[in-house]
């Protein structure tokens, strides 16, 4: 049931209680400007926002391109993509360790006492690591651009986003054997995945630019029955000038960021909505406690913000000021 719950709230893992200054609240990972070392953490709790949590606590930069972060066993694991590392901090955000033996890491999931780190290296792979030391236990080859992962019934679903090229598959890894059981062709550059209340897997296809980089084609949603790995439905999006990203669900509706805003679609729908439910240019999108959190990266070189929306209202109900290019949100309710 836990993985299902995780999926319902889109991107908001909740784990056991541990005390610390940053144990509760909303943690925003700011990607930072490429090669500038401006990745850092914004913490928001009870209308109080604190910037640069990592660098102020540890007196050093977090790294280059903060990609994602996950809570596990009383610690935060922060994946720093272009620094080839995962920083591990306690609930006060004090550094405990840095795993620097990983190349181009993207996301991390935990299962069976092991960490699974997707990576763009070697045309796509997943590292299996020891959570305490970061020691690589195994490397599992996937297809290019291993990106978001979803754990469901001991199976790890990996969206192969294409990385520096393109891909049209997801890899399904058995976490008992740590091997790829199935590589499923789903469509153009799978980038995100969730499970709905009917226990169906949804995969968001980012789509791909045409040769002239003027139009994105192939974006869409794919509905899969995880028990059989059968594709139940493929819903194509209209072409756009940008790729799709960020798939979230409350169990009944899907939300994704595409073509000028946040789109909302019922899990029973067979065609995609033609217009966004909320208009805007957003970098990433998250869902927590029935609120949508949309990352506004602005010009990507000055501090951005996170806009909070009700699920269909056009106007944001609240704003959290963040760092440069807010890109990942961890909800610690």
Partner 1 sequence: MKNWYKIGFLVINLALCYDLMGQDMTDTITINEVQIIEKASFDNVPGQKREIIKLSKILQSNALTISEVLNTQSLVNVRNYGASGISTISVRGAGASHTSVVWNGFNIQSFQNGQFDFSTLPIGASDKIALVYGGTGAQIGSGSIGGTLFVDNEIDFGDELDVQTQFLAGSYKRFNQYASAQYRSEKFATRLSFLNDQSENNFTYKNRTRFRTPIDTVKNGAIRRLSATSNTKIKTGDRSDLNFHLWATKQDAKDPGTMLSPARGHYTKTDNVRLAGVWKWNHKNIDAEVRSAYLYNHMEYAGDVTSDHYTHNQINELSLASHWNQFLWKLAVNQSIEWINSSDLTENPQRQKQALYGMIQRKWKYIEGVVIMRQEMVSHEAIPFTPAAGLDIFMSKNITFSTFVSRSYKLPTFNDLYWTGWGNPNLNSEDALNSEASIKYRRWKERNSFQIKLGGFRNQIKDIIIWLPQGTIWRPENLESVLSYGLEFESEIKHKFSSEMGITANGQYTWVKSMNEGKQLIYIPEHKAGINLLFTYRDFMISYSHIYTGNRYTDKLNMLKPLARFNTADIRVAQSFSKNQYKFNVAGAVKNVYNATYEVIQYIPTPPINFELSITITYKQ
Classify 141 as helix, strand or coil: strand
- CA-to-CA distance for 315 and 53, rounded, in angstroms? 29
> What backbone torsions phi and psi does residue 110 show, to the nearest 5 degrees?
-120, 140
Q: Show the tokens assigned to 93.
A: 């955000």
Among 83, 146, 167, 250, binds partner 1 (CB under 8 A): 83
Told to check if 167 binds partner 1 by CB under 8 A, we report no
What's the closest the beta carbon of residue 233 comes to partner 1, in angstroms? Answer: 25
Contact 145, 120 (CB under 8 A): yes
Told to check if 60 binds partner 1 by CB under 8 A, we report yes
Q: Show the tokens assigned to 122.
A: 């070697």
The residue (of 8 and 107) whose beta carbon lies closer to partner 1 is: 107
What's the closest the beta carbon of residue 220 comes to partner 1, in angstroms? Answer: 16
Told to check if 74 binds partner 1 by CB under 8 A, we report no
Residue 39: exposure state from Cβ atoms within 10 A (0-12, 13-18, ≥19): buried
Told to check if 130 binds partner 1 by CB under 8 A, we report no
| Residues 259-288 close enough to bind partner 1 by CB under 8 A | 260, 281
Told to check if 100 binds partner 1 by CB under 8 A, we report yes
- CA-to-CA distance for 111 and 204, rounded, in angstroms? 23
- Candidates 17-25, 94-102, 132-140, 179-187 — which segment interacts with partner 1 by CB under 8 A? 94-102
Told to check if 133 binds partner 1 by CB under 8 A, we report no
Q: In what order do the strands lie in the sheet with 179-185?
A: 146-152, 155-160, 169-174, 179-185
Q: Show the tokens assigned to 80.
A: 């720093």
What's the closest the beta carbon of residue 7 comes to partner 1, in angstroms? Answer: 21
Told to check if 81 binds partner 1 by CB under 8 A, we report yes
Residue 160: exposure state from Cβ atoms within 10 A (0-12, 13-18, ≥19): buried
**List of residues contacting partner 1 (CB under 8 A):** 31, 33-38, 60-61, 63-65, 67, 81-84, 87, 95, 97-98, 100, 103-104, 106, 120, 145, 161-164, 209, 211-214, 216, 241-243, 260, 281, 297, 299-303, 324, 327
């Amino acid at each position: 049931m836990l993985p299902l719950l995780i999926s319902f709230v889109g991107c908001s893992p909740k784990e056991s209680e541990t005390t610390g200054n940053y144990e509760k609240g909303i943690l925003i990972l700011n990607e930072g400007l490429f090669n500038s070392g401006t990745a850092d953490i914004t913490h928001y709790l009870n209308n109080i926002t604190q910037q640069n949590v990592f660098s102020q606590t540890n007196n050093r930069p977090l790294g280059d391109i903060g990609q994602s972060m996950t809570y596990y066993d009383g610690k935060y694991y922060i994946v720093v993509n272009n620094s080839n590392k995962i920083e591990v901090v306690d609930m006060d955000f004090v550094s405990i360790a840095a795993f620097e033996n990983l190349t181009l890491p993207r996301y991390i999931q935990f299962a069976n006492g092991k960490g699974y780190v997707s990576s763009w290296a070697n045309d796509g792979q997943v590292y299996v690591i020891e959570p305490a030391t970061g020691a690589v236990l195994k490397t599992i080859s996937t297809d290019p651009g291993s990106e978001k992962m979803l754990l469901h019934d001991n199976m790890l679903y990996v969206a192969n986003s294409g990385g520096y090229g393109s891909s049209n598959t997801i890899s399904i890894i058995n976490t008992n054997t740590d091997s790829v059981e199935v590589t499923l062709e789903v469509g153009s550059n799978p980038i995100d995945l969730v499970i709905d209340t009917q226990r169906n897997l949804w995969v968001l296809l980012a789509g791909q630019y045409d040769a002239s980089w003027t139009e994105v084609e192939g974006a869409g949603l794919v509905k899969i029955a995880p028990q059989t790995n059968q594709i139940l439905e493929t819903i194509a999006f209209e072409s756009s000038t940008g790729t799709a990203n960020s798939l979230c669900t409350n169990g009944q509706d899907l939300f994704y960021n595409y073509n000028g805003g946040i789109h909302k679609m019922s899990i029973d729908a067979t065609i995609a909505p033609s217009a966004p439910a909320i208009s805007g240019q957003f970098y990433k999108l998250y869902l927590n406690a029935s609120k949508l959190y949309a990352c506004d990266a602005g010009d990507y070189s000055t501090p951005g913000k996170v806009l909070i929306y009700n699920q269909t209202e056009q106007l944001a109900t609240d704003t959290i000021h963040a760092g440069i290019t807010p890109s990942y949100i961890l909800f610690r309710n």
